[in-house]
Structure 1
Protein backbone atom coordinates (compact mmCIF):
# COMPACT_ATOMS: atom_id res chain seq x y z
CA UNK A 1 0.00 0.00 0.00
CA UNK A 2 1.44 3.38 -1.02
CA UNK A 3 1.39 6.70 0.73
CA UNK A 4 -1.82 8.67 0.27
CA UNK A 5 -0.64 11.91 -1.31
CA UNK A 6 -3.38 14.36 -2.25
CA UNK A 7 -2.35 17.25 -4.47
CA UNK A 8 -4.78 20.14 -4.13
CA UNK A 9 -5.39 21.34 -7.68
CA UNK A 10 -8.13 23.91 -7.20
CA UNK A 11 -7.14 26.96 -9.33
CA UNK A 12 -7.46 29.47 -6.49
CA UNK A 13 -5.35 27.33 -4.17
CA UNK A 14 -2.74 26.87 -6.91
CA UNK A 15 -2.60 30.62 -7.65
CA UNK A 16 -2.19 31.58 -3.99
CA UNK A 17 0.35 28.81 -3.39
CA UNK A 18 2.39 29.88 -6.43
CA UNK A 19 2.55 33.42 -5.09
CA UNK A 20 3.71 32.24 -1.67
CA UNK A 21 6.24 29.72 -3.02
CA UNK A 22 7.83 31.76 -5.81
CA UNK A 23 7.01 35.39 -5.13
CA UNK A 24 6.94 37.55 -2.08
CA UNK A 25 3.34 37.52 -0.82
CA UNK A 26 1.69 40.89 -1.31
CA UNK A 27 -0.21 40.61 1.94
CA UNK A 28 -0.81 38.28 4.84
CA UNK A 29 -4.45 38.07 3.71
CA UNK A 30 -3.37 35.76 0.89
CA UNK A 31 -1.71 33.43 3.40
CA UNK A 32 -4.85 33.44 5.59
CA UNK A 33 -7.02 32.73 2.56
CA UNK A 34 -4.73 29.92 1.41
CA UNK A 35 -4.70 28.46 4.92
CA UNK A 36 -8.47 28.34 5.18
CA UNK A 37 -8.83 26.88 1.67
CA UNK A 38 -6.20 24.19 2.28
CA UNK A 39 -7.80 23.23 5.58
CA UNK A 40 -11.23 23.14 3.96
CA UNK A 41 -10.06 20.89 1.11
CA UNK A 42 -8.17 18.63 3.49
CA UNK A 43 -10.88 18.25 6.09
CA UNK A 44 -14.10 18.31 4.10
CA UNK A 45 -14.50 14.53 4.40
CA UNK A 46 -13.67 14.63 8.11
CA UNK A 47 -16.04 17.47 8.97
CA UNK A 48 -19.60 16.60 9.82
CA UNK A 49 -22.24 19.30 9.97
CA UNK A 50 -25.60 18.63 11.54
CA UNK A 51 -28.70 20.48 10.40
CA UNK A 52 -31.10 21.37 13.17
CA UNK A 53 -34.63 22.50 12.40
CA UNK A 54 -36.64 24.24 15.09
CA UNK A 55 -40.31 24.68 14.38
CA UNK A 56 -41.75 27.79 15.93
CA UNK A 57 -45.36 28.85 15.91
CA UNK A 58 -44.94 31.20 12.97
CA UNK A 59 -41.63 30.14 11.39
CA UNK A 60 -39.14 27.38 10.84
CA UNK A 61 -35.58 28.12 11.94
CA UNK A 62 -32.66 26.22 10.46
CA UNK A 63 -29.21 26.07 12.07
CA UNK A 64 -25.96 24.30 11.29
CA UNK A 65 -23.66 22.91 13.95
CA UNK A 66 -20.40 21.08 13.64
CA UNK A 67 -20.27 17.68 15.29
CA UNK A 68 -19.30 18.39 18.89
CA UNK A 69 -17.77 14.94 19.30
CA UNK A 70 -15.05 15.61 16.72
CA UNK A 71 -12.10 17.50 18.14
CA UNK A 72 -8.99 18.49 16.24
CA UNK A 73 -5.45 19.05 17.45
CA UNK A 74 -3.29 21.08 15.07
CA UNK A 75 0.41 20.57 15.65
CA UNK A 76 2.56 23.19 13.99
CA UNK A 77 5.35 25.67 14.39
CA UNK A 78 3.14 28.69 15.12
CA UNK A 79 6.03 31.12 14.63
CA UNK A 80 6.36 30.08 10.97
CA UNK A 81 2.71 29.37 10.21
CA UNK A 82 0.61 31.85 12.20
CA UNK A 83 -0.66 33.66 9.08
CA UNK A 84 -2.10 30.42 7.69
CA UNK A 85 -3.85 29.46 10.91
CA UNK A 86 -5.57 32.77 11.64
CA UNK A 87 -8.98 31.75 10.36
CA UNK A 88 -8.88 27.99 10.94
CA UNK A 89 -10.94 28.15 14.11
CA UNK A 90 -13.84 29.53 12.07
CA UNK A 91 -14.16 26.24 10.19
CA UNK A 92 -12.88 24.05 13.04
CA UNK A 93 -14.54 25.35 16.19
CA UNK A 94 -13.48 22.28 18.19
CA UNK A 95 -9.81 22.77 17.37
CA UNK A 96 -6.77 23.30 19.51
CA UNK A 97 -3.56 24.68 17.99
CA UNK A 98 -0.30 23.70 19.70
CA UNK A 99 3.20 24.96 18.96
CA UNK A 100 5.90 22.32 18.61
CA UNK A 101 9.39 22.60 17.25
CA UNK A 102 9.49 19.51 15.04
CA UNK A 103 13.03 18.64 16.02
CA UNK A 104 11.85 18.39 19.67
CA UNK A 105 9.42 15.50 19.27
CA UNK A 106 9.38 14.77 22.98
CA UNK A 107 7.52 18.09 23.49
CA UNK A 108 4.47 16.32 22.13
CA UNK A 109 4.26 14.31 25.36
CA UNK A 110 2.82 17.44 27.04
CA UNK A 111 -0.29 16.92 24.94
CA UNK A 112 -0.60 13.15 25.29
CA UNK A 113 -4.16 13.30 26.68
CA UNK A 114 -5.32 15.57 23.84
CA UNK A 115 -3.63 13.29 21.32
CA UNK A 116 -5.84 10.41 22.39
CA UNK A 117 -9.06 12.45 22.20
CA UNK A 118 -8.43 14.46 19.04
CA UNK A 119 -7.94 13.93 15.35
CA UNK A 120 -4.45 15.19 14.60
CA UNK A 121 -3.43 17.62 11.89
CA UNK A 122 0.26 18.31 11.39
CA UNK A 123 0.74 21.55 9.48
CA UNK A 124 4.08 22.61 8.07
CA UNK A 125 4.45 25.41 5.57
CA UNK A 126 7.19 23.75 3.52
CA UNK A 127 7.87 20.07 4.20
CA UNK A 128 11.55 20.18 3.30
CA UNK A 129 13.40 18.50 6.15
CA UNK A 130 13.13 15.25 8.04
CA UNK A 131 12.17 16.79 11.39
CA UNK A 132 8.49 15.94 10.88
CA UNK A 133 9.52 12.28 10.97
CA UNK A 134 10.38 12.78 14.66
CA UNK A 135 6.76 13.67 15.42
CA UNK A 136 5.37 10.76 13.41
CA UNK A 137 7.86 8.35 15.01
CA UNK A 138 6.87 9.56 18.46
CA UNK A 139 3.14 9.11 17.76
CA UNK A 140 3.72 5.63 16.34
CA UNK A 141 6.26 4.41 18.89
CA UNK A 142 4.21 5.47 21.91
CA UNK A 143 0.96 4.22 20.33
CA UNK A 144 -0.67 7.52 21.17
CA UNK A 145 -2.98 7.55 18.21
CA UNK A 146 -3.97 5.55 15.18
CA UNK A 147 -2.04 7.06 12.26
CA UNK A 148 -5.27 6.92 10.22
CA UNK A 149 -6.40 9.80 12.44
CA UNK A 150 -3.42 11.91 11.39
CA UNK A 151 -3.29 14.21 8.38
CA UNK A 152 -0.23 16.14 7.26
CA UNK A 153 -0.82 19.43 5.46
CA UNK A 154 1.85 21.46 3.70
CA UNK A 155 2.11 23.93 0.84
CA UNK A 156 5.05 22.11 -0.72
CA UNK A 157 6.79 18.88 0.13
CA UNK A 158 10.08 17.35 -0.81
CA UNK A 159 9.93 14.18 -2.90
CA UNK A 160 12.67 12.45 -0.85
CA UNK A 161 10.79 13.03 2.39
CA UNK A 162 7.65 11.58 0.83
CA UNK A 163 9.57 8.45 -0.19
CA UNK A 164 10.91 8.07 3.33
CA UNK A 165 7.47 8.51 4.92
CA UNK A 166 5.93 6.11 2.39
CA UNK A 167 8.38 3.37 3.37
CA UNK A 168 7.71 3.67 7.11
CA UNK A 169 4.11 4.91 7.33
CA UNK A 170 2.14 4.18 4.16
CA UNK A 171 -1.20 4.72 5.92
CA UNK A 172 -0.61 8.47 6.39
CA UNK A 173 -2.48 11.06 4.36
CA UNK A 174 -0.52 14.05 3.06
CA UNK A 175 -2.16 17.08 1.48
CA UNK A 176 -0.05 19.50 -0.53
CA UNK A 177 -0.20 21.93 -3.43
CA UNK A 178 3.11 20.95 -4.98
CA UNK A 179 5.75 18.20 -4.78
CA UNK A 180 9.26 19.48 -5.30
Structure 2
Protein backbone atom coordinates (compact mmCIF):
# COMPACT_ATOMS: atom_id res chain seq x y z
CA UNK A 1 0.00 0.00 0.00
CA UNK A 2 1.69 3.19 -1.23
CA UNK A 3 -1.11 5.68 -0.61
CA UNK A 4 -0.51 9.19 0.68
CA UNK A 5 -2.50 8.82 3.88
CA UNK A 6 -2.62 11.82 6.17
CA UNK A 7 -3.77 10.72 9.61
CA UNK A 8 -4.82 14.02 11.12
CA UNK A 9 -3.88 14.17 14.77
CA UNK A 10 -5.02 17.61 15.83
CA UNK A 11 -6.17 17.50 19.50
CA UNK A 12 -9.68 18.76 18.72
CA UNK A 13 -10.12 16.15 16.00
CA UNK A 14 -8.88 13.43 18.35
CA UNK A 15 -11.36 14.47 21.04
CA UNK A 16 -14.29 14.61 18.65
CA UNK A 17 -13.51 11.33 16.92
CA UNK A 18 -12.76 9.47 20.17
CA UNK A 19 -16.00 10.54 21.82
CA UNK A 20 -17.84 9.76 18.60
CA UNK A 21 -16.59 6.18 18.55
CA UNK A 22 -16.60 5.37 22.26
CA UNK A 23 -20.04 6.45 23.42
CA UNK A 24 -23.59 5.91 22.27
CA UNK A 25 -25.00 9.40 21.79
CA UNK A 26 -28.10 10.71 20.13
CA UNK A 27 -28.24 11.44 16.42
CA UNK A 28 -28.15 15.25 16.81
CA UNK A 29 -24.82 15.12 18.66
CA UNK A 30 -23.56 12.61 16.10
CA UNK A 31 -24.42 15.00 13.24
CA UNK A 32 -22.60 17.87 14.95
CA UNK A 33 -19.50 15.75 15.44
CA UNK A 34 -19.56 14.57 11.82
CA UNK A 35 -19.93 18.18 10.73
CA UNK A 36 -17.05 19.55 12.77
CA UNK A 37 -14.69 16.67 12.08
CA UNK A 38 -15.43 16.99 8.36
CA UNK A 39 -14.79 20.73 8.50
CA UNK A 40 -11.45 20.25 10.29
CA UNK A 41 -10.39 17.60 7.76
CA UNK A 42 -11.45 19.86 4.90
CA UNK A 43 -9.42 22.70 6.39
CA UNK A 44 -6.32 20.49 6.76
CA UNK A 45 -6.59 19.35 3.16
CA UNK A 46 -7.29 22.78 1.66
CA UNK A 47 -4.53 24.67 3.42
CA UNK A 48 -1.96 22.89 1.23
CA UNK A 49 -3.72 23.47 -2.06
CA UNK A 50 -5.70 26.68 -1.75
CA UNK A 51 -3.87 29.67 -3.17
CA UNK A 52 -5.11 33.21 -2.77
CA UNK A 53 -4.26 36.32 -4.76
CA UNK A 54 -3.97 39.58 -2.89
CA UNK A 55 -5.22 42.68 -4.70
CA UNK A 56 -4.51 46.16 -3.41
CA UNK A 57 -6.80 49.00 -4.47
CA UNK A 58 -5.58 52.51 -3.76
CA UNK A 59 -8.31 54.82 -2.56
CA UNK A 60 -7.90 58.53 -1.91
CA UNK A 61 -6.71 58.22 1.68
CA UNK A 62 -6.07 54.52 2.20
CA UNK A 63 -5.37 51.21 0.49
CA UNK A 64 -8.04 48.52 0.48
CA UNK A 65 -7.00 44.86 0.35
CA UNK A 66 -8.98 42.09 -1.34
CA UNK A 67 -8.31 38.35 -1.21
CA UNK A 68 -9.41 36.26 -4.19
CA UNK A 69 -9.11 32.59 -5.08
CA UNK A 70 -6.93 31.82 -8.05
CA UNK A 71 -9.08 31.91 -11.16
CA UNK A 72 -7.24 29.14 -13.00
CA UNK A 73 -8.42 26.43 -10.57
CA UNK A 74 -11.80 24.87 -10.00
CA UNK A 75 -12.74 22.95 -6.89
CA UNK A 76 -15.33 20.17 -6.81
CA UNK A 77 -16.71 18.21 -3.88
CA UNK A 78 -18.19 14.85 -4.79
CA UNK A 79 -20.29 13.41 -2.00
CA UNK A 80 -23.52 11.70 -1.11
CA UNK A 81 -25.49 14.58 0.37
CA UNK A 82 -27.66 12.21 2.41
CA UNK A 83 -24.59 11.37 4.51
CA UNK A 84 -22.70 14.67 4.53
CA UNK A 85 -25.34 17.39 4.29
CA UNK A 86 -24.41 18.86 7.68
CA UNK A 87 -20.82 19.71 6.66
CA UNK A 88 -21.51 20.66 3.04
CA UNK A 89 -23.58 23.71 3.99
CA UNK A 90 -20.73 25.10 6.07
CA UNK A 91 -18.14 24.37 3.37
CA UNK A 92 -20.30 26.13 0.78
CA UNK A 93 -20.45 29.21 3.04
CA UNK A 94 -16.65 29.21 3.45
CA UNK A 95 -15.94 28.64 -0.25
CA UNK A 96 -18.87 29.83 -2.37
CA UNK A 97 -17.01 29.09 -5.63
CA UNK A 98 -16.79 25.37 -4.93
CA UNK A 99 -19.05 23.09 -6.97
CA UNK A 100 -20.85 20.30 -5.15
CA UNK A 101 -21.80 17.15 -7.02
CA UNK A 102 -24.23 14.79 -5.35
CA UNK A 103 -23.71 11.11 -6.08
CA UNK A 104 -25.13 7.90 -4.79
CA UNK A 105 -24.10 4.31 -5.33
CA UNK A 106 -26.06 3.74 -8.56
CA UNK A 107 -23.75 3.54 -11.57
CA UNK A 108 -26.06 5.29 -14.07
CA UNK A 109 -26.43 8.35 -11.85
CA UNK A 110 -22.69 8.35 -11.20
CA UNK A 111 -21.85 8.86 -14.89
CA UNK A 112 -24.52 11.53 -15.36
CA UNK A 113 -23.59 13.61 -12.34
CA UNK A 114 -19.85 13.66 -13.01
CA UNK A 115 -20.20 14.85 -16.62
CA UNK A 116 -20.45 18.44 -15.30
CA UNK A 117 -16.73 18.43 -14.52
CA UNK A 118 -15.76 18.51 -18.21
CA UNK A 119 -17.46 21.86 -18.92
CA UNK A 120 -14.35 24.02 -18.60
CA UNK A 121 -11.26 22.69 -20.28
CA UNK A 122 -8.62 25.32 -19.55
CA UNK A 123 -8.79 25.27 -15.76
CA UNK A 124 -7.02 22.92 -13.39
CA UNK A 125 -9.54 20.87 -11.45
CA UNK A 126 -9.19 19.68 -7.87
CA UNK A 127 -11.58 16.95 -6.84
CA UNK A 128 -12.46 16.33 -3.19
CA UNK A 129 -14.38 13.17 -2.38
CA UNK A 130 -16.07 13.62 0.98
CA UNK A 131 -17.26 10.56 2.90
CA UNK A 132 -18.03 9.97 6.54
CA UNK A 133 -16.89 6.34 6.46
CA UNK A 134 -14.86 5.02 3.55
CA UNK A 135 -16.07 1.44 3.27
CA UNK A 136 -17.54 0.92 -0.20
CA UNK A 137 -16.04 -0.43 -3.39
CA UNK A 138 -17.85 2.23 -5.44
CA UNK A 139 -15.12 4.73 -4.54
CA UNK A 140 -12.70 2.83 -6.81
CA UNK A 141 -15.20 3.03 -9.68
CA UNK A 142 -15.67 6.75 -9.05
CA UNK A 143 -11.93 7.42 -9.18
CA UNK A 144 -11.62 5.35 -12.36
CA UNK A 145 -14.35 7.44 -14.01
CA UNK A 146 -12.68 10.68 -12.94
CA UNK A 147 -9.33 9.61 -14.36
CA UNK A 148 -10.43 7.93 -17.60
CA UNK A 149 -13.55 9.86 -18.60
CA UNK A 150 -12.75 13.31 -17.22
CA UNK A 151 -8.93 13.32 -17.59
CA UNK A 152 -8.30 14.26 -13.97
CA UNK A 153 -4.80 13.55 -12.67
CA UNK A 154 -4.66 11.30 -9.61
CA UNK A 155 -2.61 13.96 -7.78
CA UNK A 156 -5.63 16.29 -8.00
CA UNK A 157 -8.03 13.83 -6.36
CA UNK A 158 -8.30 13.90 -2.58
CA UNK A 159 -10.45 11.78 -0.29
CA UNK A 160 -11.62 13.17 3.04
CA UNK A 161 -13.19 10.65 5.42
CA UNK A 162 -13.62 10.43 9.15
CA UNK A 163 -12.82 6.72 9.28
CA UNK A 164 -11.75 4.25 6.63
CA UNK A 165 -11.39 0.53 6.45
CA UNK A 166 -8.03 -1.11 5.86
CA UNK A 167 -9.43 -3.39 3.13
CA UNK A 168 -10.52 -0.44 0.97
CA UNK A 169 -7.16 1.25 1.53
CA UNK A 170 -5.36 -1.89 0.34
CA UNK A 171 -7.43 -1.98 -2.86
CA UNK A 172 -6.99 1.74 -3.47
CA UNK A 173 -3.25 1.44 -2.82
CA UNK A 174 -2.87 -1.32 -5.40
CA UNK A 175 -4.78 0.55 -8.08
CA UNK A 176 -3.94 4.21 -7.30
CA UNK A 177 -0.77 4.50 -5.23
CA UNK A 178 -0.53 8.32 -5.55
CA UNK A 179 -4.00 9.00 -4.14
CA UNK A 180 -4.25 11.44 -1.21
CA UNK A 181 -6.45 10.43 1.74
CA UNK A 182 -7.16 12.57 4.81
CA UNK A 183 -8.67 10.71 7.75
CA UNK A 184 -8.77 10.55 11.53
CA UNK A 185 -8.80 6.78 11.94
CA UNK A 186 -8.09 3.55 10.07
CA UNK A 187 -10.16 0.53 11.10
Please tell me the TM-score bracket, short chain as reference: 0.7 to 0.9
Point out where structure 1 has 5 or more consecutive residues left out of the alignment: none
Range with bigger deviation, 26-35 or 116-125:
26-35
SS in 1 for 2:145: helix
TM-score of the aligned structures, taking structure 2 as reference length: 0.85
> Which runs of structure 2 are paired with 1:50-89 in the superposition (5 Å)?
50-89=53-92
Match of 1:31 among 31, 34, 47: 34
**Counterpart in 2 of 1:16?**
16
For 1:81 and 1:115, the matched residues in 2 are separated by 24
Deviations 1:78-112 (A, max 9, x none): 001111212112332221111111x3244333232
The farther-off stretch of 149-158 and 115-124 is 115-124
Which residue is 1:96 aligned to?
Answer: 99
Checking the alignment, whether the CA contact within 8 Å between 1:116 and 1:144 is kept in structure 2 is no
Q: Would you say the 8 A contact 2:118–2:150 is kept in 1?
A: no
> Which of 143, 146, 149 is 2:156 aligned to?
149
Q: Report SS of the residue matched to 2:133.
A: strand
Deviations 1:128-153 (A, max 9, x none): 22221221222234353111111011
Q: Determine the structure 1 residue equivalent to 2:139.
A: 132
SS at match of 1:109: helix
Rounded to whole Å, the distance in 2 between the matches of 1:26 and 1:112 is 36
> TM-score, with normalisation over the residues of structure 1?
0.88
Q: What is the distance in 2 between the residues matched to 1:106 and 1:141?
A: 16
Deviates further, 78-87 or 130-139: 130-139
Using the TM superposition, give the Cα deviation of residue 2 of structure 1 relative to its aligned residue in structure 2, in angstroms: 1.4
For structure 2, the 5+ residue unaligned runs are: none
Asked whether the equivalents of residues 115 and 145 of structure 1 are also in contact (C-alpha less than 8 Å), the reply is: no
State the number of aligned residues: 179
Which of 127, 132, 136 is the equivalent residue of 1:120?
A: 127
Q: 1:52 to 1:143 in 2, by over 3 A?
A: closer
**TM-aligned CA deviation for residue 157 of structure 1:** 0.4
1:170 deviates by 0.3
Looking at structure 2, the residues matched to 105 and 154 of structure 1 have their Cα atoms a distance apart, in angstroms, of: 21
